[in-house]
Structures are given as C-alpha cells and as structure tokens.
C-alpha cells in the first residue's frame, strides 16, 4: 500500500519481541533479546546505547541483512502491516531500498569501490522503478544535489575513493533516499565523520522528514545527536530496551539508572564545573556471560533482591523503563552533579 493512502494513525513499523542470537562454540549467545517498539509515520526515533548493546543488530535484523547461517532471528517485524521476518528474498527486495532505505555506519567501506556513485544510485532506482537510464541518472544528480554534494553533475561519475568521507556519506544517504522510502534506517551515520560534517548530515536527516515525509530510525551512541533530531528515544543495554520515552521525557527525567549514568557522563553547560564526570562503574557484560536477572545489576548502585529477576519494560504516559525501583520518588535517588562540584 502506498504510504500516502495509509491512515495517518497507523504505525509504520511495529517490532515485537525481536531476538537475535548467535550460535557459537560456547553455546547460543544472545545479541538482542526481546526488543519491542513501534514507529509512527514521520517520526524520528533515536536508539542509543554503547557498543555491543545490540543497536546495529536490531536494525540489520529488521532489514533481513544478517546473512550468517549461525544467527537465529525470532520475533516479529511488521512494516505497514506486513511481516518482514521470514519473508522470501524477492518480496523482501521489493521493500528494501524502495520503502526502507538504510544508511550505514562507515561511509569509507559502504560503497562498492569499482562502480561510480552514480551507477550505484541508478542501479537502485532501476531495480525498483521502470525508468530509463537517462531519467535515473538525472534523478541521481538531483539527489546528490539535494544532499548537498558540491557539483553533483561531476560527482555522479566519480568513484567512491575519489570522494571524502563526508561526501561519501552524503552519497550513501542519497542512495538510501533514491526511491523516497517511507522509512530511513540510519546506523550511526555520523560516527565516522568529523564534527562539522556531522552537523550538516544531521540537519539533512531532519530535513528529510520535512521534504520527503520519511520516518527515521537513528542509531547512535552520541546523546548530542539524539538531542538534536529525535522525537522519541530508545535506550538499549546488553541487547534489551531499558528505557523508552519522548526526547523531552528522557532528557528531563530519565528513569533507568543506566540512563542516569549516560546523562551523568555529559558535561553540564551551566553551573559549577564538576571535578569529574560520573562514570558508570564496571563495563558492559559479555554477551556470552550475561548475568542472571537485570543485566545492568552488577554495575548498578541501587541493586536489591528484586533485581535477580528480569525487569519488564513498564510505565505510564509513553515513558517506560525496565527497573524494579519504585517509580514514585525514583528521581530523588538520581545522583546529581551538584554534590561533587569543584569549589570556585
């Protein structure tokens, strides 16, 4: 069903209980466990978490891009009501690239080195639409122009190695957008880029929603990026969603001790300068040695008996967290930076 004929309140993407596990010599290792979320049309969802928290694997699983025979993906991913998991390759290819575009993390390796970026964009357009090569090329030039590549007429015939990292990332974005996808999935699109280019790319992603009407899933480990563009945020830890809420809710009043730790690691812009930023003690659990119960438990200051069980994601007002601490008064437990301020 074309996106413009959809009822506007219908969610674009519904992910339910998505699990990704790897079969290894040491047994089955879970990378993503029971991730559920839904995405409205034109919504920008930020997914944050540190490396190894399962963000990228979640995205790859949604698009069916995990090809290793040693990976088991279970759960449900419905895009516009259609189940994507287990879909035949041909049916999946009709959706990938056309209705769902993907931007990858590393622009240096994401483009085939032996084809011009124009050819790679044209290839995608012509895989999904019956247009002439000349028309597809014209659109490729327009797209490259739209993503802010200087002299797109010239750039279209260039090979990836002839472009800088920022230009390549723009080319990747142009390619992802080439069929006006309803959903754009961006896996750390700015991580490999320097800060000024980052800002331009983020601005571009924000503009996409306005100009192309796309919804965006933006994976990042950079909270600043989330604050810039996201509407809603998922916080992931050790393969699970530990907190979910609107950007305002999450930044104003984070509920999960892990989220407290994340926000505590951002230097405050106002007030006295803290002597040290808070760091979360310990390090994330190895996927092969996941602790019993709450995966954050071993690093959590507020661990108690209840934490031996796996907390469920719960809460009211669209702001949910997976923690056993009582919701009322939980904010009072949150460590503040003020107590450790440097005397002026």
Partner 1 sequence: MLTALISRLGQMVLVMFGISVVAFLIFFATPGADPSARIAGRNASQETLAQVRHDFGLDRPLPVRYALMMKRLFISRDLTSFVNRGQKVVPTVLEAIPITLSLVLGAAVFWVLGGLIVGVVAGATRGTWLDRTLMILSLIGVSIPVFWLGEVANLVTQSRWHDSWLFSWVPPLGYIPFTEDPWGWFKALVIPWFTLATLYIGLYGRVLRASIIETMQEDFIRTARAKGIGERRVLLHHGLRTSLVAFVTMFGLDFGALVGGGALLTEVVFGLQGVGKLTYGALQTLDLPMILATVIYASFFVVMANFIVDVVFVFIDPRVRDAH
Q: How far is the CB of 144 from partner 1 (least distance, A)?
A: 16
CB atoms within 10 A of CB 326: 8
Residue nearer to partner 1 on the CB measure, 56 or 321: 56
Establish if 67 lies at the interface with partner 1 (CB under 8 A).
Answer: yes
What's the CA gap between 111 and 266, in Å, rounded? Answer: 34
Establish if 110 lies at the interface with partner 1 (CB under 8 A).
Answer: yes
Residue nearer to partner 1 on the CB measure, 86 or 314: 86
> Binding residue for partner 1 (CB under 8 A) from 7, 26, 69, 271?
69
How many binding residues for partner 1 (CB under 8 A)?
Answer: 36
Task: Name the strand (E) or helix (H) holding 285.
Answer: none
Cα-based distances in Å from 66 to 63, 234, 325: 8, 22, 36
Establish if 137 lies at the interface with partner 1 (CB under 8 A).
Answer: no
> Binding residue for partner 1 (CB under 8 A) from 14, 42, 50, 106?
106
Q: How far is the CB of 262 from partner 1 (least distance, A)?
A: 28
Q: How many helices (H) and strands (E) in the chain?
A: 11, 11
Residue nearer to partner 1 on the CB measure, 114 or 342: 114
Residue nearer to partner 1 on the CB measure, 67 or 270: 67
Q: How far is the CB of 30 from partner 1 (least distance, A)?
A: 22
Establish if 88 lies at the interface with partner 1 (CB under 8 A).
Answer: no
What's the CA gap between 77 and 65, in Å, rounded? Answer: 13
Establish if 109 lies at the interface with partner 1 (CB under 8 A).
Answer: yes
Establish if 123 lies at the interface with partner 1 (CB under 8 A).
Answer: yes
Q: How far is the CB of 31 from partner 1 (least distance, A)?
A: 16
Task: Name the strand (E) or helix (H) holding 291.
Answer: none
User: Of 1-9, 104-112, 214-222, 239-247, which part binds partner 1 (CB under 8 A)?
Assistant: 104-112
CB atoms within 10 A of CB 279: 9
Q: How far is the CB of 93 from partner 1 (least distance, A)?
A: 4
Q: How far is the CB of 233 from partner 1 (least distance, A)?
A: 24
Q: How far is the CB of 131 from partner 1 (least distance, A)?
A: 15
Establish if 42 lies at the interface with partner 1 (CB under 8 A).
Answer: no
Establish if 90 lies at the interface with partner 1 (CB under 8 A).
Answer: yes
Q: How far is the CB of 220 from partner 1 (least distance, A)?
A: 18
User: Of 13-21, 42-50, 155-163, 265-273, which part binds partner 1 (CB under 8 A)?
Assistant: 155-163
Establish if 84 lies at the interface with partner 1 (CB under 8 A).
Answer: no
What's the CA gap between 3 and 248, in Å, rounded? Answer: 28
Which residues, in sequence order, are CB contacts of 233 under 8 Å at separation 6+?
A: 45, 46, 47, 48, 226, 243, 244, 245, 246, 247, 250
Q: How far is the CB of 343 from partner 1 (least distance, A)?
A: 50
DSSP reduced 3-state for 228: helix
> Binding residue for partner 1 (CB under 8 A) from 37, 79, 104, 258?
104
Establish if 112 lies at the interface with partner 1 (CB under 8 A).
Answer: yes
Report whether 318 contacts 249 (CB < 8 A).
yes
DSSP output for 139-203: HHHHHHHHTT-SSHHHHTT--GGGS-HHHHHHHHHHHHHTT--SEEEEESTTTTS-HHHHHHHHH
Long-range contacts, stretch 230-235, CB < 8 angstroms, 24+ apart: 230/44, 230/45, 230/46, 231/43, 231/44, 231/45, 232/43, 232/44, 232/45, 232/46, 232/318, 233/45, 233/46, 233/47, 233/48, 234/37, 234/45, 234/46, 234/47, 234/48, 235/48, 235/49, 235/259, 235/262
Binding residues (CB under 8 A) for partner 1: these are: 60, 63, 65, 67, 69, 89-90, 92-98, 101-102, 104, 106, 109-116, 120, 123-124, 127-128, 159, 161-162, 172, 175
């Amino acid at each position: 069903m074309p996106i413009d004929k959809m009822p506007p309140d219908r969610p674009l993407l519904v992910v339910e209980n998505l699990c990704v596990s790897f079969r290894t010599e040491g047994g089955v290792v879970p990378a993503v466990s029971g991730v559920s979320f839904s995405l409205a049309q034109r919504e920008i969802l930020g997914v944050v978490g540190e490396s190894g928290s399962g963000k990228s694997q979640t995205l790859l699983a949604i698009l069916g891009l995990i090809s290793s025979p040693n990976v088991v993906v279970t759960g449900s991913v419905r895009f516009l009501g259609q189940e994507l998991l287990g879909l035949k390759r041909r049916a999946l290819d009709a959706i990938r690239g056309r209705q769902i575009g993907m931007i990858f993390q590393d622009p240096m390796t994401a483009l085939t080195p032996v084809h011009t970026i124009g050819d790679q964009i044209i290839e995608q357009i012509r895989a999904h639409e019956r247009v002439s090569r000349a028309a597809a090329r014209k659109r490729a030039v327009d797209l490259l122009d739209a993503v802010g590549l200087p002299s797109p007429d010239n750039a279209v015939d260039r090979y990836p190695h002839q472009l800088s990292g920022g230009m390549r990332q723009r080319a990747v974005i142009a390619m992802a957008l080439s069929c006006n996808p309803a959903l754009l999935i961006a896996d750390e699109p700015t991580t490999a880029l320097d800060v000024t280019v980052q800002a331009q790319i983020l601005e571009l992603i924000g503009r996409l929603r306005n100009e192309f009407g796309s919804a965006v899933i933006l994976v990042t480990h950079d909270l600043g990026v989330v604050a810039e563009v996201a509407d809603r945020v998922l916080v992931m830890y050790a393969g699970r969603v530990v907190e979910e809420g609107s950007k305002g809710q999450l930044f104003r009043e984070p509920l999960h001790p892990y989220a407290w730790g994340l926000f505590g690691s951002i230097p405050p812009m106002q007030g006295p300068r803290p002597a040290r930023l808070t760091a979360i003690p310990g390090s994330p659990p190895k996927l092969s040695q996941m602790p019993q119960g709450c995966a954050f438990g071993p690093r959590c200051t507020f661990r108690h008996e209840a934490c031996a069980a796996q907390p469920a994601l719960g809460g009211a007002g669209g702001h949910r967290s997976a923690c056993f601490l009582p919701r009322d008064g939980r904010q009072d437990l949150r460590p503040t930076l003020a107590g450790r301020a440097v005397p002026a």
